[in-house]
């Protein structure tokens, strides 16, 4: 083995670098999802936020977390290169997650209902979120783009590379939703959040120590700019400094839902105009149409993730309040139910990847797969509606939430890994990083919309608890019914549009799924 040059060394038939990225992203997602699974409970039970304010805070945070990758992707494309951006993002993430471990004092509620909160602890918490936002912004889209860079054009291993990478994401999420939720609920919030930080530290070490396997991939294409000095400092350092200073802005924004809403609209509008400008002035024929196809597909992902992301707000609270959480005599905590999504991904990702290949010429095109995904996420809510209707006056059986996660996962597998791969194939090479950022910007809007949707099911709480089971059930029923119809409806619309989108993709799509 030792005589084979690194560039030719493979593992499971893939470049070794894929596994460096796999484990880095595994740990990054461990920290991300470990924290996210605890978040709604931390807000509603520890800081005694109402459902509404808890949902909206998660919406603002998650929207920013997925919006900033557009800027992170752009900076990596133009200046830093993917590798340096990932290292910088990783450092910010370790700091942010460790900051979350400071919990301060629990809020108290007086008999008259007045709530006293530890404001210092809350400000530390918001600032930690700001660091995580910046960290994900530099890491998330760029690590996905770097996976794409490991394969040359037409390399048939690209899709299976993304499938493996996606399993890494979910291995991290699976471990996190078991371990961090357990630590957080049994020993205290700071243990759960702290564990997330330690996980991210492992991720950073993995990435830095695996540098040689990247073989110069992901390096800056604009080294002279980085070396050049402005204001007496190397431009590279200026980028880091300005980025760190931007945490001050995110720190304030995360506390202001309206500001996030405006920022999303501006970012969405500007990105859209840039895509149009690029398509009109720099591209023609096939490349232009492929970019248009990708943009249409990305718009539909907004609906998918807005429904899917209920997992961390309304579905998580539903599991806590309404679900009989006993399985085979064991009681599972609400946040741990999220691990079913990750577990199903790990089990089913290879099955789906195999299925697409097996279907050969009957393999549905990407637009049809996305339509299927929308229908499946809708059906997942259908399962919850059925579970609630069958539960009488008692709690809902755990089976229905597990079935919902199963259907949501099948939807995710028809959209997410396929979509990541599509971004790297349908975008012009020069703007892959940016388009990957736009892919995540769509999720950002979804997260924001998801929090507004989750509020449909908000119930009045006292000391962090929902007092009446049946009143709570009614509000979840209303939300889930609505989401069921939304998923099915948008799925049907996309299915109707799919022949047009297929044409615009010019067969790249077929190449994708082999």
CB of 250 or CB of 305, closer to ligand GLN: 305
* Smallest separation (angstroms) from ligand GLN to the CB of 298: 11
- Classify residue 113 by burial, with Cβ atoms within 10 Å: 0-12, 13-18, 19+: exposed
Only one residue has tokens 């957080």, namely: 184
Where in 125-232 does DSSP place strands (E)?
Answer: 229-230
Q: What is the DSSP letter of 4?
A: S
**Which residues make up the interface to ligand GLN (CB under 6 A)?**
29, 169, 305, 416, 443
* Smallest separation (angstroms) from ligand GLN to the CB of 29: 5
Return phi, psi of residue 134, to 5°: -65, -40
> Tokens in use for 237?
């350092």
CA distance 382 to 336: 22
CB of 29 or CB of 83, closer to ligand GLN: 29
CB of 141 or CB of 368, closer to ligand GLN: 141
CB of 128 or CB of 443, closer to ligand GLN: 443
CB of 19 or CB of 440, closer to ligand GLN: 440
CA distance 406 to 408: 5
CB of 431 or CB of 438, closer to ligand GLN: 438
* Smallest separation (angstroms) from ligand GLN to the CB of 228: 35
Return phi, psi of residue 453, to 5°: -65, -45
Residue 224 CB neighbours (<10 A): 8
Residue 397 CB neighbours (<10 A): 17
* Smallest separation (angstroms) from ligand GLN to the CB of 305: 5
CB of 24 or CB of 416, closer to ligand GLN: 416
CA distance 228 to 243: 18
* Smallest separation (angstroms) from ligand GLN to the CB of 294: 15
* Smallest separation (angstroms) from ligand GLN to the CB of 32: 7
CB of 43 or CB of 62, closer to ligand GLN: 62
Only one residue has tokens 């597909």, namely: 297
SS (H, E, C) 70-92: HHHHHHHHHHHCHHHHHHHHHHH
* Smallest separation (angstroms) from ligand GLN to the CB of 169: 5
CB of 68 or CB of 169, closer to ligand GLN: 169
Nearest-CB residue to ligand GLN? 443
* Smallest separation (angstroms) from ligand GLN to the CB of 78: 23
CB of 254 or CB of 420, closer to ligand GLN: 420
From 440, 88, 101, select the one nearest 237 (Cα to Cα): 88
* Smallest separation (angstroms) from ligand GLN to the CB of 111: 43
* Smallest separation (angstroms) from ligand GLN to the CB of 38: 16
Q: How far is CA 473 from CA 195, 342, 453, 482, 483, in A?
A: 33, 26, 16, 14, 15
* Smallest separation (angstroms) from ligand GLN to the CB of 39: 15
CB of 29 or CB of 502, closer to ligand GLN: 29
From 72, 90, 296, select the one nearest 205 (Cα to Cα): 90
Q: What is the DSSP letter of 45?
A: I
Return phi, psi of residue 324, to 5°: -80, 105
DSSP H/E element including 131: helix 119-149
Question: What's the chain's length in residues?
Answer: 514
């Amino acid at each position: 083995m030792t005589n084979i040059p690194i560039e030719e060394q493979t593992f499971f038939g893939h470049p070794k670098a894929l596994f460096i990225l796999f484990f880095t992203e595994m740990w990054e997602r461990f920290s991300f999802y470990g924290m996210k699974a605890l978040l709604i409970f931390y807000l509603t039970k520890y800081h005694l936020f109402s459902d509404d304010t808890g949902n909206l805070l998660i919406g603002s945070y998650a929207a920013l977390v997925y919006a900033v990758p557009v800027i992170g992707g752009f900076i990596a494309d133009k200046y830093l290169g993917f590798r340096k951006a990932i290292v910088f993002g990783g450092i910010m993430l370790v700091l942010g997650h460790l900051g979350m471990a400071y919990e301060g004092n629990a809020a108290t509620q007086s008999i008259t209902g007045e709530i006293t909160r530890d404001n210092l602890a809350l400000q530390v918490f918001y600032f930690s979120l700001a660091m995580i936002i910046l960290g994900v912004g530099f890491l998330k889209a760029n690590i996905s783009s770097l996976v794409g860079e490991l394969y040359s054009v037409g390399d048939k291993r690209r899709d299976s590379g993304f499938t493996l990478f996606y399993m890494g994401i979910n291995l991290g999420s699976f471990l996190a939703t078991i371990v961090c939720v357990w630590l957080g609920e049994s020993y205290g919030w700071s243990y759960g959040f702290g564990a997330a930080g330690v996980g991210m530290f492992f991720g950073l070490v993995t990435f830095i120590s695996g540098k040689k396997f990247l073989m110069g991939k992901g390096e800056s294409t604009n080294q002279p700019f980085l070396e050049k000095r402005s204001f007496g400092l190397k431009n590279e350092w200026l980028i880091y400094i300005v980025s760190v200073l931007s945490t001050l802005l995110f720190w304030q924004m995360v506390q202001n839902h309206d500001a996030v809403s405006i920022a999303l609209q501006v970012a969405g509008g500007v990105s859209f105009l840039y895509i149009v400008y690029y398509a009109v002035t720099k591209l023609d024929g096939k490349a232009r149409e492929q970019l248009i196809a990708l943009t249409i597909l990305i718009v539909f992902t907004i609906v998918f993730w807005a429904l899917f992301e209920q997992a961390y707000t309304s579905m998580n609270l539903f599991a806590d309040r309404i679900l009989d959480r006993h399985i085979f005599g064991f009681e599972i905590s609400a946040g741990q139910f999220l691990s079913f999504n990750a577990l199903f991904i790990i089990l089913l990702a290879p099955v789906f990847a195999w299925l697409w290949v097996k279907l050969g010429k009957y393999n549905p095109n990407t637009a049809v797969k996305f339509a299927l995904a929308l229908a499946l996420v809708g059906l997942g809510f259908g399962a919850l509606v059925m579970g609630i209707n069958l539960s009488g006056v008692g709690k809902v059986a755990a089976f229905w939430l597990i079935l919902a996660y199963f259907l949501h996962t099948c939807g995710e597998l028809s959209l997410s890994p396929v979509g990541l791969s599509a971004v790297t194939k349908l975008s012009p090479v020069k703007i892959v990083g940016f388009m990957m950022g736009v892919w995540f910007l769509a999720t950002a809007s979804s997260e924001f919309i998801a929090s507004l949707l989750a509020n449909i099911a908000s119930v009045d709480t006292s000391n962090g608890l929902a007092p009446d089971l049946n009143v709570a059930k009614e509000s979840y029923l209303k939300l889930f019914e609505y989401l069921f119809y939304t998923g099915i409806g948008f799925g049907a619309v996309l299915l109707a549009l799919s022949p047009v989108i297929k044409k615009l993709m010019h067969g790249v799509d077929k190449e994708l799924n082999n």
